[in-house]
Structure formats: structure tokens, C-alpha cells
A = this chain, B = another copy of it.
Amino acid sequence: MLRSVAVAKTRLPQSRLILRNLSASVSLRKEASRTAAAPLGRQRSVSDINECVLNAKYAVRGAIPLRAEELRQQLEENPGALPFSKIINANIGNPQQLGQKPLTFYRQVLSLLQNPEIIERLSSDELSKAYQPDAIRRATRMLEEAGGSIGAYSGSQGVPAYRQSVANFIAERDGEPANADDIFLTTGASAAVGYILQLFCSGPQNGALIPIPQYPLYTATLALNNAQALPYYLEEESGWSTDPEQFEKIIKDAINKGVTPTTLVVINPGNPTGAILSEENIEGIFEVAAKYSLVVIADEVYQENGFNDVEFTSMKKVLRVLQKTQPGSYDNVQLVSLHSTSKGVSGECGQRGGYMELVGFSDEVKQVITKLVSISLCPVVTGQALMDLMVRPPTKGDASYELDQKERNDIHRNLSERSSMLNSAFQSLEGVSCQKPQGSMYLFPRLHLTQKAIAKAEAQGIAPDEYYCKELLEHTGICTVPGSGFRQVPGTYHLRTTFLAPGTEWIESWKEFHEKFWDDHRD
């Protein structure tokens, strides 16, 4: 059963109850299309909607966050009405929503790109109060590279000079050449996932191997493409590592059922798990990819978010070593590596910057991708510029350098400390276990829920971990995502929480909640 993995039973707020009966609507729809080609004189309703869209789920903005939004509005209208004073949005990696300050250098350059006139309007003395000289030089150059205005469409692949910056960054990171022609700037990394899955994984006869637990963008995009999600499990006990041994069986089972696996998704550092893959794990993945011609999507958007001295190695670097040490065996491997301006120490989610690097793709395929991306004209140009800034920060000797370094180090230290603190809290809680955080912005603790808790959840018609998350939200204002939204080994329960929220009070209130919850739900 390819689709037997535990899936979130979406519990919807009161106003959305009607959506519960979607499967009923869907069968109605089939009935309708059999009996009447055009439904005369009525409205098109949920029963007329593309089933693939109905089937797609995206828990990060699902029932629990929707309920949090309702509670936030209640608090706005009546601040004393609830047992907490604010909502802590730990459901989504959105650092600036939780008070993380943007890097000064980025914002100086971006503001000059929007309003270069200021350079003429102020004297250089005045200007120097608000802008470092290297920021002004950089903005002037980047504006020219964008053709004179960031309000013009760029080429669909992105501004050539910005793509060159990305290629330089990759070359330096990996010690291996990178080519600007292989770089596509995108509207966040999500857009890149959409393009690649649309290309290679469309229709029920195609499938993508996805890690479980996974970031739900993948299952959602596969559902939109009516393609199959072929789950492979990460091993919680060994720090959410990947066992490449399991792939052979999954692939053969899929083929026996008439499904061709075309794509293999790797999220490293892991979301929601926070794990960083070992080089051995990555090598094993490429071995399978080479054998079965799987396009590897390497979701590496958390590559800057490493902690506890565990080092991130890019999949491309590992691939290049394999190709050198075992000539011929890995020449056919195709890799798409994703990065984003939303994570790392940048945290500029709302600016929607991203890139994908295509490794091992023919010119013909790249031309098809260019055509596909051109249908949406171009990624937002300020997001492209931000990507250039992210991969090419100030260097020693630049006026912005010292402050930039300080800001980066502060953010990094903060994240690292908070991840440890939250992990310690989980270790101290009864019935909770948590793998040591290595990277990303999340912890994914396991909840060893009691039969009583499970029965209560069932009585409410929701998944057990959703029940826990809901109770947590209603009592503390802390908004998390149930593990079922990411899929998990059936019979296990988790939740994903970011450790981005400042302060420690919320962690204390979580502990208090948990102790009471556990006492109330003893078997």
C-alpha cells in the first residue's frame, strides 16, 4: 500500500466543517459529469473542483494555525479573554514575524535599489549617516546589472550577474566549479520544487521518493500533479538518518504496481527533523539514483542552519567526489539543489528569494525548464537581488563587514542556544523524547501518548498528536504542527516546533501545560 502512511486527519474549525465531506462531494462530482456535461444555470462549487487540488494538504498552514488565527483575533478584541496574552507562532519558520531583525547590509542595499534617487538628494555626509559606502557601491552596481530598474521584468532565469554570484558562491562552498547557466533564480525554493516535480513527476504512473517525515510541500505538490508519493522512512533512533538499503524494495514495489519512480527528494538539513545527513547516507542515495535514473531534489535551504559542530556537506560536493573516484558510475546522476533567502541567518521569508542549481541536465532539458519558468515571466527582482546579497555578503575591509559579522553571529548563537534550551526542556518532560538538534529551525519531538490521550483524540475525530497540539494551543497560545501533517511511522506521534520565538517564558508555560496534560491523561 503505497499510500498507507498515516496522514493528518484535517480537523477544521467550525466554519470549515463542510469541507470534511469532500470525498462525498467528489463522488457526487463523478456522478454529475456522467449525467450532465454542463451543469446549466447553477454555480460551480467544491464538487466541480479539480480533485487533485482537493486532495492536496498543507498542514503548516492547516487547522491548528487557522485556529491560532481565530484566537489571535479574540485576543485583539478582548485581551483578557484567554489564559495567555499572545500567540507564539512556532508552526512556521518565519523568523522576522518573531522579532528577528533583518541584516542591516541587505536592507540598506534593497532600499537603495527601490529608491536610488536618494543618492542624489542627500549630501554624502548626510547619506553616510544612513548608508555604508560599500552598500551604496553595491546598490549602484546591482541596479546597473538589473538593467537600470528593479521594476522591469528580468530574464525568466534571473539577472545574469546575480546568477553568476550564486555560481561563485557554490564553487567556493564545494571547491568544485559551478556555472551561472545552470542557476535559475526562483520565487522562493517552493517554486523550484513545483517546476521540477511538474517536469518529471506528473500523473499516477510516476512517483517521487520522499522522506517521512517530510516537509508537506512535497506531498502537496505531488497531489496537485496527481503523482504518487513513495515514502521512505527516516530512522528516528539514529538521529533521523536515512538508510539507503530500504530504497531497492520501495522502488521494486512501486514498479510492480505500475508506478515509475522518477525523482528522489532529500531534505538536508532535515525539515521537520533537524538532522544533518552523513556523507555515507548521501553516497548511498546517489547509488540508488544512478541505478534507477532518479532525479535527486536536494532541498538544502537550511544549509546555513547547523549547530553542535555537525558539518553540512552539499550533495553536489559528494556527487563530484563520487564521479571522480568511481569514473563512469555516477555520470548519469541529475541533481537539483535548492536554496532560499528565507532561512539561515537571513530569514527574509516575505521577500521570496530562491535559486535552483541544475547538475547533470542536458541543454535541451534546460531549455524546456526555461520555457516553463518564462510562463510566469520572472521571479521578483528584489528577491533575486537579495539572493545576490546573501551569497555575496560584505568581506573583510568593507565598511559594512564588522556589523554584518556581529549580526550574523548573534543570530546564529541565538538559534543555537534556543535549540539546546528547547531540547533540554523536551528531555525533561515525561513521555517525550527528542533527537539532538543538528540543523534547520525545528525540533520534532516524539510524544509517547497514553491510550487515554489517544482515545480522547479519537472521540474528537482528530489525530492524537493533533489533539495534543490543539490542547497546547488552547492553553498556552503556542502554535505548533502535529507530526501527522508531515506523515510519520504509523502509531508514532510527534509535533514540529520552531525554536525561533524569543525569551524562555513560552518554554516554561509549555512545560507547565505538559505536566498537567500528562497527569490528566494517565492510563
Contact = CB atoms under 8 A, between A and B. Distances in A.
Contacts of A372: 53, 56
Given A97-B149, A190-B376, 16 more contacts: A15-B363, A18-B363, A19-B364, A37-B259, A43-B334, A48-B262, A52-B202, A56-B371, A58-B374, A69-B155, A102-B151, A107-B114, A198-B224, A350-B380, A350-B381, A352-B378
A377 B121 contact: no
Interface stretch (A285-293, A312-320, A440-448, A488-496): A285-293
Shortest 10 CB-CB contacts between residues of A and residues of B: A111-B115, A350-B381, A111-B114, A97-B152, A96-B152, A61-B374, A111-B111, A96-B149, A50-B202, A151-B348
Interface in A179-199: 187-188, 190-191, 194, 198-199
Contacts of A33: 205, 260
A377 B44 contact: no
Contacts of A200: 44, 48-50
Interface in A23-67: 33, 37-46, 48-50, 52-54, 56-58, 60-61
B115 A108 contact: yes
Interface stretch (A122-130, A407-415, A459-467): A122-130
Interface string A347-371: 1111110000000101111011001
A99 B152 CA distance: 9
A290 B129 contact: no
A260 B102 contact: no
Contacts of A5: none
Interface of A: 15-16, 18-19, 33, 37-46, 48-50, 52-54, 56-58, 60-61, 69, 92, 94-97, 99, 102, 104, 107-108, 110-112, 114-115, 117-118, 121-122, 126, 129-130, 146-156, 187-188, 190-191, 194, 198-200, 202-203, 205, 217, 220-221, 224, 251, 255, 258-262, 290-293, 295, 332, 334, 342, 347-352, 360, 362-365, 367-368, 371-372, 374-383
A132 to B, nearest CB: 12
19 contacts: A15-B363, A16-B367, A18-B364, A19-B367, A38-B255, A39-B293, A50-B198, A50-B203, A56-B371, A61-B374, A94-B153, A102-B149, A107-B115, A126-B126, A187-B352, A188-B376, A188-B377, A190-B375, A221-B375
Contacts of A350: 146, 149-154, 378, 380-382
A418 to B, nearest CB: 18
Contact of A198 (B53, B122, B220, B378): B53
A380 B353 CA distance: 9
Contacts of A41: 290-291, 293, 332
Contact of A38 (B107, B293, B365): B293
Nearest to A129: B121
Contacts of A380: 187, 350-352, 380, 382-383
A156 B220 CA distance: 15
A237 to B, nearest CB: 31
A146 B349 CA distance: 13
B96 A118 contact: no
A344 to B, nearest CB: 13
B360 A43 contact: yes
Contacts of A155: 69
Contacts of A190: 375-377
A155 B146 CA distance: 29
A66 B360 CA distance: 23
A191 B151 contact: no
A375 B220 contact: yes
B291 A368 contact: no
Nearest to A290: B41
A199 B377 CA distance: 21
Contacts of A205: 33
A48 to B, nearest CB: 7
